[in-house]
A and B are shown apart, each in its own frame.
Chain A
Amino acid sequence: MSGRRIFARPARLAAIAPYVWMVLFFLVPFGFVLKISLSQTAIAQPPYEPVFDLTAGWEALRAAFAALSLDNFRLLASDDIYVFAYVRSLTVAVTATALLLLVGYPIAYGMARLPTRWQAVAMVLVIVPFWTSFLIRIYAWINILQHDGLLNQILLALHLVSQPVVWLSTDSAMYIGIVYSYLPFMILPLYATLAKMEPVLEEAASDLGAPPWQVFWLVTFPLSLPGVGAGVLLCFIPIVGEFVIPDLLAGSNSLMIGQTLWLEFFTNKDWPVASAAAIVLLVVLLVPLLLYERLQRRQLEQGR
């Protein structure tokens, strides 16, 4: 229809402002990260040697290119602290995502089986915590998990433990914090696919004699895989670079990469190393990021 085509032209013009904005404030900054990751640390403000000065002419530019160094990356690869930090980030992200799937799936499944009218209510109830501050939610857990906090009081009162358990500054506290903060991100995509599923399929499997766990494992779960994929990516990618939760809840003896980056930047003022760490983190996340982008685009543009 021609109306569509006439409408499309001004709609395309609408892209100009956000396009320019995103190029300027999202794409271009990565160039700076790359540039500074290749430069040397300097004790100055800003704390790095400029890599090239475009006003200085061609010769100077060539000299500058010769001065580019991979030293910061070599440092990252040779120093155990960084290697451990990357390994730990990935391990934490994999474990936490698995936990999230384990906790989130039954909740999403329960939501999808509610009467339609209640499903909307349940969805709002799951989304609301996402709107309250991240930091506040972590802080709420510090309240509960501290030495004389509510959890220890309850455990002592029930005589489950004889003396207070140390919860803060442990990995368990961190995993509780991560699962708590990211749960809505896991539940919502799972719920979206589970709610769309035809109940007839499960009924058919059950009529043909499959016990409930087999119905779930052979019919429900495979059909919900798109939602599983979306939820896993939505949680995994940001958790790898997570800073606040491990910083406030986990111990300080093994850091995640987001924390090392923060430390290099704010405490050691070593911007080039922090930039190099960011570049490596970005490269690690490139494949999941691209996967996520494709999924998101397909989902939003399906209706066209």
Chain B
Amino acid sequence: MRKLSRLSRFNIASLALGLAFLYLPILILVIYSFNASRLVTVWGGWSLRWYHEFFGDRAMIEAAWMSLRVAASSATIATLLGTLAAVALSRGERFRGRTLFSGMLYAPLVMPEVITGLSLLLLFVALNAERGFWTVTIAHTTLTMCFVAVVVQSRLGSLDRSLEEAAMDLGCNPVRAFVAVTLPLIAPAIVAGWMLAFTLSLDDLVIASFTTGPGSATLPIRIYSEVRLGVKPEINAICTLVIALIAVVIVIASLASKLSSSQGESAAPL
């Protein structure tokens, strides 16, 4: 039997072009952040000038600090709630309101952010809540816990359930079986979920714009208002710093998922 060659030249070309398309713009941005020239397009030699500028910009630093705090707190709450939701969906069999529950968890994944942002803001106004750190944190938790739930649920789905059942046959109660057997097995997915929630929160502009109050802008809000005024070399530097931070997060997450795949099969999606 004649065998089709698996990888044609067309396949290789489309892969190479696709990856170049995905990475070149970011690479160019990073390189230009070290440009000494004020003109973004003229190369004036290597320099850390724009990084100095950023660290001297108090408003930017405050916004960055706010973003980091929101990202860390919302990711933590979201990981807790998302993991609980994933456990309920993949181990809870049937329960009343299950369809509504999964619907509420999957819809925010694709819901346009303007809708989520507007609706949460109207809730906060109705509750007369002071807008700032906590309102943004709650809003981001609501969005990101859905991503955590999907990541953890897909890991739970691929686990061999006879392990939990064996633990219970040996006398563990369900909670103990979960903590002793299931939790260590899904821990890498939980870590990956936290990282994903963290970066999504760090990244969000629209929902944060709706739910924050005066005087507590997040980094994307500040970046956005600067970008609207045109390209500034300082923004290149800030973006590069954010990319570097996220790169660290990704390395940790991929180490976690490597740990996960050495314990069982397929790692979590996204």
| Residues in chain A within 8 A of chain B (CB atoms) | 1, 3-15, 17-19, 21-23, 25-30, 32-33, 36, 46, 103, 106-107, 109-111, 113-115, 122, 124-137, 139-144, 146, 148-150, 153, 180, 183-184, 187-188, 192, 199, 202-203, 206-207, 233-234, 237-238, 240-244, 248, 258, 261-262, 265-266, 271, 274-275, 278, 281-282, 285, 289, 292-293, 296-297, 300-304
Known: A111-B15, A150-B41, A285-B112. A199 touches B122 (CB 8 A): no
Complex Cα distance, B160 from A98, in Å, reads: 39
Task: Identify 6 residue pairs between A and B in the complex whose beta-carbon atoms are under 8 Å apart, listed by A's number.
Answer: A11-B90, A33-B122, A134-B205, A136-B239, A149-B41, A293-B103
> A58 to nearest B CB, angstroms?
21
B:186-237 near A, CB below 8 Å? 196, 199, 202-203, 205-206, 209-210, 220, 223-224, 227-228, 231, 235-236
Output the nearest chain B residue to A202 by Cβ-Cβ distance. Answer: B4
Complex Cα distance, B81 from A127, in Å, reads: 24
> B142 to nearest A CB, angstroms?
4
Contact B157 A301, beta carbon cutoff 8 Å: yes
Contact B138 A25, beta carbon cutoff 8 Å: yes
Output the nearest chain A residue to B206 by Cβ-Cβ distance. Answer: A243
A180 / chain B contacts, CB cutoff of 8 Å: 21-22, 25
Contact B239 A139, beta carbon cutoff 8 Å: yes
Contact B81 A143, beta carbon cutoff 8 Å: no
Contact with A along B71-99 (1 / 0, CB 8 A): 00000000011101101111111010100
Most-contacted residue by chain B among A111, A126, A202, A244 (CB, 10 A): A244
Contact A278 B115, beta carbon cutoff 8 Å: yes
B95 / chain A contacts, CB cutoff of 8 Å: 12, 15
Main SS of the interface on chain B?
helix
A188 / chain B contacts, CB cutoff of 8 Å: 269-270
Complex Cα distance, B40 from A131, in Å, reads: 25
Give the A-B contact count at a CB cut-off of 8 A.
304
Contact A140 B26, beta carbon cutoff 8 Å: yes
Contact B92 A8, beta carbon cutoff 8 Å: yes
Q: Decide if B180 is an interface residue (CB 8 Å cutoff).
A: no
Contact A135 B223, beta carbon cutoff 8 Å: yes
Output the nearest chain B residue to A138 by Cβ-Cβ distance. Answer: B227
A32 / chain B contacts, CB cutoff of 8 Å: 119, 122-123, 126
Contact with A along B138-152 (1 / 0, CB 8 A): 110110010001100
Output the nearest chain A residue to B81 by Cβ-Cβ distance. Answer: A18
The count of residues in chain B whose C-beta lies closer than 8 Å to any C-beta of chain A is 106
> B178 to nearest A CB, angstroms?
7
What 9 pairs between A and B have smallest CB-CB spacing? A241-B112, A15-B88, A29-B119, A106-B14, A107-B18, A303-B157, A11-B91, A3-B165, A18-B85
> A182 to nearest B CB, angstroms?
11
A109 / chain B contacts, CB cutoff of 8 Å: 11, 14
B149 / chain A contacts, CB cutoff of 8 Å: 18
> A13 to nearest B CB, angstroms?
8
Complex Cα distance, B210 from A265, in Å, reads: 9
A21 / chain B contacts, CB cutoff of 8 Å: 81, 141-142, 145
Contact B249 A131, beta carbon cutoff 8 Å: yes
Contact B122 A297, beta carbon cutoff 8 Å: no
Q: Decide if B107 is an interface residue (CB 8 Å cutoff).
A: yes
B145 / chain A contacts, CB cutoff of 8 Å: 18, 21
Contact with A along B1-38 (1 / 0, CB 8 A): 11110111011101100110111011011001000000
Residue from A7, A22, A107, A124 within 8 A of B164 (CB atoms): A7
Other A-B pairs beyond A126-B19, A292-B110, 15, CB < 8 Å: A4-B165, A15-B92, A18-B82, A25-B142, A26-B107, A26-B116, A103-B21, A129-B23, A135-B205, A180-B21, A183-B22, A202-B4, A293-B103, A300-B89, A300-B154
